Structure 1
Amino acid sequence: MDSGEQMIPIVLSGLTAAGKTTHAALLASALGVDALHATDILVRELAADERSVGDVWFRRMRELESLRDHSDVDDRVDAELTALVAAARGGPVVDSWAFPWYWKGEALRIWMGSDRLSRAWKCSVSARPAKNLSTEECAALIDEKDEASRERFLERYGFDLYTDRTVFDFVLDNSHLICAPTSEASRRGIRDFHTVLSACVESGTSGESEPLRRTLTDERLGPCVVGIGERLAAEWGWGPEETRTKPVLAARRL
């Protein structure tokens, strides 16, 4: 994709361990634009003294959530992220839970869905060098973080993180791309899903549906595209059968 075509922010959202941070960085690198990670800003505003925030929620989740409860840090994070995006040239890639809902400007909004098992597997792979967490332990942490975030956003913004997808241009699901709790499976899943994201970004920013159509014909990648928002569907003249391309894959259990 020609990065010169991409002039609006691309915003990735999703539940814990869906891959937002990883894919925001990959997309930004491919497009030659900045990546903005809301967690980086939050941890810095909390003065949490973290050299790496990649797994901070799995090491210090309750501590950081408590700090958020007793400060105006979310106000400051929202204000800083909004200012950074507004000032950016070329459209950054933003990794944020809530930004798609409270940002009022133009953006390509993408929801990254991933079932509980695939997210627990990804968590266990990324946490293994530091804490050697089991899949079950990771699933429990994911559940706790998701529920805390859902409650916070319902109170703060009025949307339900579990069910509200109305603001998104693309609703994606990468569950089936993660087939085992191994680094190899994780790398393959990341590579394959990057292809899907790139096609969505190219179609969503250029106005040309062909890159997305090509992805939809792929037996492995096509099922990742669960839904397409009303704006793009209207622009392309797509009907219900095309905007809901595949049923959501059944969630797997631990």
Structure 2
Amino acid sequence: MYLKLNSLFYMIFMNTYRPNIIICGQVATGKSSLAKLIAKDFKMEYISSSTILKGDMGFNYTKEKAFWDKKGLSLFKERKSKDFDKKVDKLQLKFAKEGGKVFDTWALGWLYKGKAIKIMLLASEPVKLSRLIERDKITKKDALKALYERDNKNAKLFKDLYGIDIIKDKSPFDLVVNTDYLTQEDGHKLLKDYISKALKKIVI
């Protein structure tokens, strides 16, 4: 009798399956920068929900300065009437089944039920504003607009789509980190050390 194994079972059987690392957080919490560093550390593929979303919305990130410039905000508002986010989340869930990915994401921490190390990054509004102004060379007014457009509207969007509270509900996460007083180097070391230990203990 021949047994036909699907790819996931085969990877587990051959001990090659690796849990995903899911890093969630609002704008300017450090999730994108740290997720990229972690992906490099552990030689895992980096996947960003924002990059997938921008591509689906026709936003050329290589040519535009930021997602919250005039064009970016206009495209962002289109999500009210289009099924962009469900498509993005469906793609992320598909990738997550393969294992061995680092996700820079807004909602996957709540949606994915498989094996993963889930981390949430936090930051206060004053710190997020300061980071946006410094990083993207924008005015305080534009930074405030960016926070409102992305943080508040994303929270409402995912509440409407899935009934999840991406601001208050921290229950799915293994580690929650306030990055207010951390340099990027501090945050990187903290996450790398935690993930290194967690990967040794997680049961596939």
| 1:26/1:53 CA distance change after superposition, 3 Å | farther
1:125, distance to aligned residue in structure 2 (A) = 1.6
**In the TM superposition, what is the alpha-carbon distance from 1:92 to its structure 2 partner?**
1.1
| Deviations, residues 146-178 of structure 1 (Å, cap 9, x unaligned) | 11011101101111122100000001111012x
Task: Report the AA paired with residue 66 of structure 1.
Answer: K
Q: Which of 166, 173, 186 in structure 2 is aligned with 1:192?
A: 186
Q: Taking structure 2 as the reference length, what is the TM-score of the superposition?
A: 0.83
Q: Which has the higher contact order (CA 8 A, sep 6+)?
A: 2
Q: CA deviation at 1:18?
A: 0.8
Shift of 1:58: 4.7
Structure 2: gaps spanning 5 or more residues: 1-14
Q: Assess if the C-alpha contact under 8 Å between 1:5 and 1:205 holds in 2.
A: no
Structure 1 Cα separation of the partners of residues 147 and 63 of structure 2? 19
Deviation at 1:141, TM superposition (A): 2.2
Q: Verify the 8 A CA contact 1:112 1:174 in the aligned structure 2.
A: yes
Which among 7, 27, 32 is matched to residue 43 of structure 2?
Answer: 32
Q: Note closer, same or farther for the CA distance 1:83–1:97 as it changes in structure 2 (3 Å cut).
A: same
The residue that corresponds to 1:122 in the other structure is 131
Specify whether residues 196 and 135 from structure 1 end up closer, same or farther in structure 2 by C-alpha distance, changes over 3 A only.
farther
SS at match of 1:57: coil
Identity of aligned residues (%): 22
The Cα offsets for residues 3-52 of structure 1, whole Å up to 9 and x where unpaired, read as: x9992100000111111111111100111111000111111111223326
Q: How far 1:120 sits from its partner (Å)?
A: 1.2
Question: Distance in 2 between the 1:104 and 1:53 partners?
Answer: 35
Equivalent residue, structure 2, for 1:110 = 119
| Number of corresponding residues | 188
Partner of 2:104: 95
For 1:145, the aligned partner's letter is: R
CA deviation after TM superposition for structure 1 residue 55, in Å: 2.7
When residues 6 and 196 of structure 1 are mapped into structure 2, their CA distance, relative to the original with a 3 A threshold, is farther
Name the Cα RMSD after superposition. 2.3
TM-score (norm 1): 0.68
Q: Deviation digits for residues 224-254 of structure 1, max 9, x if unmatched?
A: xxxxxxxxxxxxxxxxxxxxxxxxxxxxxxx
Confirm or deny: 8 A CA contact 1:120 1:139 kept in the other structure: yes
CA shift digits 1:101-140 (9 cap, x unpaired): 1112111100001111211111112111xxxx23454134
Q: CA deviation at 1:144?
A: 3.2
- Tell me the CA shift for residue 78 of structure 1: 1.3
CA contact (8 A) 2:66 2:72 kept: no
Unaligned runs of 5+ in 1: 178-188, 209-254
* Whole-angstrom distance in 2 between the partners of 1:153 and 1:165: 14
Query: Does 1:22 find its partner at 2:22?
Result: no
Contact in 2 for aligned 1:111/1:170 (Cα 8 Å): yes
Give, in whole Å, the separation in 2 of the partners of 1:171 and 1:56. 26
- Is structure 2 residue 155 aligned with structure 1 residue 171? no
Secondary structure of the residue that 1:149 maps to in structure 2? helix
Is the contact made by 2:27 and 2:128 (CA closer than 8 Å) also made in structure 1? Answer: yes
Q: CA deviation at 1:74?
A: 1.5
Residues 143 and 6 (structure 1), Cα distance of their counterparts in 2 relative to 1, 3 Å cut? farther
Other-structure match for 2:8 = none
User: Quick one: distance in 1 between partners of 2:64 and 2:176?
Assistant: 26
